[in-house]
Amino acid sequence: MASYGKKRHVEASDESTLQAQDQVVDNDLEGEESSEDDSDLEEEAMDTEINEEIQVEFEAFPPGQGDFHGIKTLLQQLFLKSNVHLGGIADLLLSQNQIGCVVKQSEAQLAEESDSDDDMDDHVYGVTSVISLADKEDIPCIAQIRNLLLTKCKECADSSCHAEFQRLLDKTRVGLLISERFLNIPPQLAPPLHLSLHKDLTRAKSKDEKWNFEYLVLMCKCYETMGQAKKKKKKKDSKLDQEIKSFFFANAEDEIFQKESILSFKYSILEETDTAIGGSWGVDETQLKTYRTVMVVPMLKMADILRDIQNNLSS
């Protein structure tokens, strides 16, 4: 692989370094039953862990050679079991490191913790970039992404949506926006990351027309909750279970992108979620159905989108 440049901070705002208070959640204990005294000690330890907070400062860097596995892990969240060569996408992102960035723990904080035994110093917490979907003949993973998107569109959307999506991919300059981060990363990180990416694209297209996209395609992680609520009937003391549904995106800014999209469809990935990354989604009696929403957004709308992201997610 080619060598990569020095650290480049996100230029969007003073929010390039953020702090996240990461709540540590206790895991279920497994194995054989222990004695009553041991159980008491374990309960005390669990209570201590639940209340522990970890302060983490994040910074943005250009993708570097050592980020390959971290980027690939984040891509696994998005593509799951799809027939897409994730290593090929990771290599592509590394080769165009003038576009986008990866999110890591800040160097200043790492220096303070240099005596730690933690081997996660170069852990990648997020990646934001764009790849062109026009290079399908030269880059196999691009052809695989296009095939995945068109196949899901044909299966889950009507014929007019599929025809328009096919036309956009074949006849216009389209980029795939990749914005992946772990679920416990604060949404306040989104505004500087997206603004910085937009500036990167503006610089790049002045030198190379391939970066002058007309549209961006997003593949968004989304969920539908299936909970139970109690609703009283007219009869005294009688109740009826009512199913309550709620739809939400893993990345808060994706809702803003959807408002400006000209085409969208969603498909279920329920059968693929055994390889999902990001922790348990069980909340009380609520069940979650997992989806991917694919949307097409005009680049002409990016100024409005970036303004709304800044206004809604900065604080």
- For 102-125, what is each residue's pLDDT tens digit? 999 887 776 666 655 455 456 899
41 confidence band (pLDDT: 50, 70, 90): low
Structure tokens at 78: 């998005």
Which is more confidently placed, 242 or 163?
163
Which value, in Å, is the radius of gyration of the alpha carbons in the chain?
A: 22
Nearest to 100 by CA among 181, 21, 19: 181
Question: Where are the extended beta strands (E) located within 12-121?
Answer: 18-23, 53-61, 101-105
* Secondary structure E strands in 24-65: 53-61
Q: Using pLDDT thresholds of 50, 70 and 90, give the confidence band for residue 173.
A: very high
Q: Is pLDDT of 63 > 80?
A: yes
**Across all residues in the chain, what is the average pLDDT?**
79
Quick check: 131 and 175 in contact, CB under 8 A? yes
Q: Phi then psi for 250, rounded to 5 degrees? A: -65, -40
Q: How confident is the model at residue 3 (pLDDT cuts 50, 70, 90)?
A: very low
- The strand pair at 174-181 and 215-232 is best described as parallel
DSSP 8-state class, residue 300:
G
Query: How distant is the alpha carbon of residue 223 from its chain centre?
Result: 13
- Non-local (6+) Cβ contacts of 29 within 8 A are 42
Of the two residues 102 and 236, the one the predictor is more confident about is 102
Residue 250, token pair as written in the block? 């893993």
**Residue-level pLDDT at 95:** 96
Is pLDDT at 60 greater than 70 in this prediction?
A: yes
| Distance, C-alpha 239 to centroid of its chain | 40
Residue identified by tokens 């909970």 is: 227
Tokens of 303: 């100024």
Q: Which residues pair with 102 in a beta bridge?
A: 61, 127
Q: Cα dist. 258→137, 168, 255, 293 in Å?
A: 29, 17, 5, 9
Query: How far lies 289's CA from each of 92, 103, 186, 245, 286, in Å?
Result: 31, 28, 23, 10, 10
| Residue of 128, 212, 219 lying closest to 172 (CA atoms) | 212
Amino acid at 238: S
Residues contacting residue 259 through CB under 8 Å, at least 6 positions apart: 308
